[in-house]
Structures are given as C-alpha cells and as structure tokens.
Amino acid sequence: MSYGQVSPGSNALVGDARSLNQLKLQAGQASPAAIKETAKQFEALFMREMIKSMREATMKSGLLDSPQGDLGADLLDQQLAVQMSGRPGGLSDMIARQLTRQMSGTAAATPDSSAPAAATPGAGAASPISRAGPSTAPLGNTAPSARQSEFVQRHSAAAAKVAQASGIPSGFMLGQAGHETGWGKSEIKTADGSSSFNLFGIKAGPGWQGKVAEVTTTEYENGVAKKTVARFRAYDSYEESFKDYARLLTQSPRYAKVSQQTGSVQAFATGLQRAGYATDPAYATKLSRAINSTLQLQRAFA
C-alpha cells in the first residue's frame, strides 16, 4: 500500500486530502467498520496537527536541528497521533455517530457552522493590528461548504491579482479572509450598515488616514475573552482590502518573516499568530484549517 492510502483496520495515517476523501467515500458505501476507521483517521489527523502545533511552539536551541531531525519528528508525530486516536469515548466515537446518522439519512439539517454564530465581528479579536473571528466547523467535516465555495469564487479574481504583485498565494489570502469574515457572513459594517470591504479585520491605528468602521469585537487578554469597541479600516472595494493586507505583510517589519513562510500553511499561520496578528490562542489552528479548505477548493476549480 502506498503512502496516503488507508484501508479499514490499518494503523497508517492518510497523507493527503484526496486519500482522506476516498476514505470518507468508502465509509459511505461500506460497513460500520469502515465508518469507524474513517472516524479514527479524522481524529488522527486532528491529533497530528495539534501535536505539530505544540512542537512548533516549543523553543529550540538550534544545535541539533537538521532536515533528518525534522523528518524524524514528523514521523514520530504521525505515530503518536495514530496511537492516541480511536480510543473508546474519544473524538472518533463522536465522528462515527455523526457519519452513521448522515449515512442513514436521519441527520437533522443544521445551520452553516463554518462561520461565527453572531453577525457581529466575534471572538478571536486581535492585537492593535487586527481581529479574527473563530472557525467553528465540526472537526469531522473536512469537505468545504457551499458558503466557502461561493466566497472563494467571488473573491478569486481580486486575490489572484494581488497575489501576482505581492507573492502571497491567493489561497492563503482567501483562506484568511474567509476565516476573518465567517466566509462572508460576518463582514465588518460601517455606521450606515454598508460593507467596510475589510476582509482581514485590520484595525485603524493612529497612522490610518482612510475611512473607519467602529464595531464591537472580542479580544483575548491572558486567554480570557472580553467584548470591546474597536476601530477598523474601511475601503472602497474588496480589491483594496487585499492590497492593504498584502502591504501589511510585505512592508511591515512585524510580519517580514511571515511573508517568507508561504511554502507551508502551518508555518504561515503560526508565524502570523506569533507576530501578534490576533489574540485568539487557537488562531493558527483555525487559520490553517481555513486555508487548507480554500486550497482544496482551488484544486477542485482548476
């Protein structure tokens, strides 16, 4: 069996989105055992990302760093994720029940959960630079929603234009814009109710001379969420928002390293969190999930 292909009952971990989708399709056509294995793989992927985030957040001395060491750590993370998943009463049991209900056609219709529950900018509010709404999509649901698809298609042209000029991948920008706005459901509004066209939650600091939108958002202080009124930048178009975001990442010393980390979704998202883009302690994990969903959609559109 090649890497990335998993059959029910194996102890391997799927290595790409295509193999994961094949596994989910197999669960829909096969036995309860296949559904159980699918749920275990979803949980293992989640555990692997969590372990990887914890490892990347750990300070390193640099003395023993090497490509071989990184590969060994990645393989260890994979094995730990597999060993920690599939335990009774764990996340995989919940995912298996959800899949079983969906396959039997008894699952009740639920609202689009890829966006924040409130229409106002919500939790994850950022530092003096920006705020970020949370992504509340179920961990077991990796397939992009119709709202996500519509959002990506709507803003693809503007993102592609700015990507060509800035070097920041359009999928990264679209994913972050989707995360910040709840995929268009929670865009920042001006006082008269019109759109601010601010897709990235960038705040209006003392040096900002343009239009402003004041809204109630959620900030985190020492891990505790609280409501506050903040001033955000307002633009005349969505393309201006993409351009301003690209300028922020490529011209601000604060994000100089981040703009050079576009080779990895996880490194890019972690870099933004470490640079203080948002105060949400889980920002990197949520942003990585949003960007990966966007990249999956872009591959489907290609």
Task: Answer whether 159's CB lies under 8 Å from 165's CB.
Answer: no
Q: Annotated catalytic residue: which of 49, 77, 219, 240?
A: 219
Q: Tell me which residue of 136, 247, 145, 238 sits closest to 197, measured CA to CA.
A: 238
Q: 244 catalytic, yes or no?
A: yes
What is the C-alpha radius of gyration for the chain, rounded to an integer number of angstroms? 20
Q: How far apart are CA 291 and CA 293, in angstroms?
A: 5
Q: 236 catalytic, yes or no?
A: no
Q: Tell me which residue of 131, 136, 181 sits closest to 155, measured CA to CA.
A: 181
Structure tokens at 119: 């229409």
Task: Answer whether 186's CB lies under 8 Å from 122's CB.
Answer: yes
Q: What is the CB neighbour count within 10 angstroms for residue 150?
A: 12
Q: Annotated catalytic residue: which of 37, 43, 180, 244?
A: 244
What are 159's strand-pairing partners? none
DSSP readout, 1-53? --TT---TT------SHHHHHHHHHHHHHS-HHHHHHHHHHHHHHHHHHHHHH
As a dihedral over the C-alpha atoms of residue 221, residue 224, residue 227, residue 230, rounded to 10 degrees, the angle is 20
Task: Answer whether 275's CB lies under 8 Å from 261's CB.
Answer: no
Q: How far apart are CA 146 and CA 246, in angstroms?
A: 27
Element (H, E) at 225: strand 224-234
Q: Tell me which residue of 83, 23, 94 sits closest to 48, measured CA to CA.
A: 83
Residues with a known catalytic role:
219, 244
